A and B are shown apart, each in its own frame.
Chain A
């Protein structure tokens, strides 16, 4: 379904690769979490599946097609079999829920009759049948994300890519979103979801692929967000807190207006001054 073979991706001007020598194989109908800290390469991986980027080396096969061999004018056709959901929903604010979902079908040339059949159907699936005529600003964040999922799912894609779909939502709402995604997965759609949400990953117990600094460091059939198999310090790329013997700089109660607040005092450790 999705096959990465020794894939490396270096963005122009970047010092280190966003992905290096990534190989993975996702079977039809799987539900896969991609975890890892910010900047680890999760989004790059999804963008490669979508053919938004081309790899510097290695090959990406999606739905049995070698993405290198798809000519630019065929890319739109290829993307019709993929659905994508983002953290920031990306709904069209001047269109109703129905029209937002229908837009997908309109722009790929589906008939009005088909649209009036498929859109209510998918809104039913995500539990928004009653809100078809609402505008995005009238909906809660969770409802907006359901609209986005409906939009991604309305064309019955073989693969759904979700880039931190619960990143802006509270835990209870996130659980609802995960139910919707599970339902879509159960109907046969392969789901690839990049996330930071440890609670969800631990609860769902699905396949987990962990990426750190552009490399796959873990691929577990039924995993949690973290595992003790890998030492924390190695997989965590977050900067370690600066250790300093200096006393913390006190905040002046009587602020000196002549001093630029952005000017960092030379007493600060150099890491913070940069």
Chain B
């Protein structure tokens, strides 16, 4: 009986304020789509980070005949120098931290180079003697790169030591900035949505002020009076959240899976799982926001 009564009240409230309800739906839809985009970007960063976490290596580049940097003097690393580096990597001080390492000579480097830049004009300009011999070192804990840097500093024949993750950090910083921007826009839009919801609920309460007055007079409990209004806000925001969930799915389906995966085949991308994980976040945010906004609005109206 009471449930039926409350649901009827919600339905009348929604139909009476149709245009306001549509605007709530649109604003929550757009703001939550921004939230969803931010969540997807974070998931993408996470995905790439965990993918590269194991694969990222430290490269110990040795001198070539052309290099002038580091301990090089336009003189390729000698066999003795290479052995010194290798013995350093095998030394008891370093070896517990190293998972494995491999030596890449010029021919291998050249083959890799050709493969990586296949079809590019740069392949013709490079010959094996330009490319450095390299020790590729995988660490047990990829964050402990300082150990390698310290150990290799001052060893003659080593041109430079590079942590591959430093390249990735730039990409992550870019994606992070995008994610933060989306979050900021989403935050502003959510504030607008909350204000819109509370205004709508106040309008709805005003248009039913006679009923409200009588309800208070005859002793309807506050919760009974508030519930239809709070549900009204929640229903409208829920519709927006469902649309936003659809938008998130569409982004993954058409943009990420449908376009990016084919355009950049060597990169890992998020899949539908991440979209499905984002949806409860969107719906939860929408519902909680609407409930708080409409509760605050109707409570102010009902204060004795």
Contact = CB atoms under 8 A, between A and B. Distances in A.
Chains A and B form a bound pair: yes
Interface of A: 50-52, 72-73, 75-84, 90, 92, 103-104, 106-109, 111-112, 151, 155
Given A76-B216, A92-B214, A107 B304 contact: no
A90 B219 contact: no
Nearest to B208: A92
A77, A79, A81, A106 — which one has the most chain B CB atoms within 10 A of its CB?
A106
B91 interface: no
B214 A79 contact: no
B214 A104 contact: yes
A77 B219 contact: yes
A204 B205 CA distance: 41
Nearest to B211: A92
B206 to A, nearest CB: 15
Interface string B39-66: 0000000000000000000000000000
B300 interface: no
A155 B304 contact: no
Contacts of A52: 304
B214 A76 contact: no
B221 interface: yes
B210 A108 contact: no
Interface of B: 1-2, 5, 210-211, 213-222, 224-225, 304
A107 to B, nearest CB: 4
A76 B211 contact: no
A108 B222 contact: no
Nearest to B12: A94
Given A52-B304, A90-B210, A107 B222 contact: no
A92 B9 CA distance: 14
Contacts, number: 58
B2 A79 contact: no
B304 A108 contact: no
Tell me whether chain B's interface is mostly helix, strand or loop, or mixed.
helix
A231 B16 CA distance: 56
B211 to A, nearest CB: 6
The 8 closest A-B pairs by CB, nearest first: A79-B219, A80-B219, A107-B220, A76-B219, A104-B218, A76-B221, A107-B215, A109-B2
A80 B219 CA distance: 5
A79 B5 contact: no
A111 B220 CA distance: 14
Nearest to A154: B218
Contact of A106 (B1, B216, B304): B1
A51 B216 CA distance: 11
Contact of B219 (A92, A103, A108, A151): A108
Contacts of A109: 1-2, 224
Nearest to B215: A107
B126 to A, nearest CB: 80
A73 B221 CA distance: 8
A90 B214 contact: yes
A78 B219 CA distance: 7
22 contacts: A50-B217, A52-B304, A75-B219, A76-B221, A76-B222, A79-B218, A80-B218, A81-B219, A84-B217, A90-B213, A92-B214, A103-B211, A103-B214, A106-B5, A107-B224, A107-B225, A108-B219, A108-B221, A109-B1, A109-B224, A151-B218, A155-B218
A245 to B, nearest CB: 50
B13 to A, nearest CB: 14
Contacts of A108: 218-221
